[in-house]
Amino acid sequence: MAEFSKQWAEINDPEFGWDFDIEEIALQLKPNHYVPIICEGFGFIAVGKDENDDIMLAIPTGESEKDENDQIIETVVWQPYKDIINS
Residue 14 forms part of a structural domain: yes
pLDDT at 57: 98
pTM metric for this prediction: 0.89
Residue 1 forms part of a structural domain: no
| Among 85, 53, 59, 87, CA closest to 74 | 59
Confidence of residue 1 (pLDDT cuts 50, 70, 90): low
Residue 25 forms part of a structural domain: yes
pLDDT at 16: 86
pLDDT digits over 34-81, tens only? 999 999 999 999 999 999 999 999 999 999 999 899 999 989 999 999
pLDDT at 2: 73
Residue 78 forms part of a structural domain: yes
Asked if 23 contacts 8 with a C-beta cutoff of 8 angstroms, the reply is no
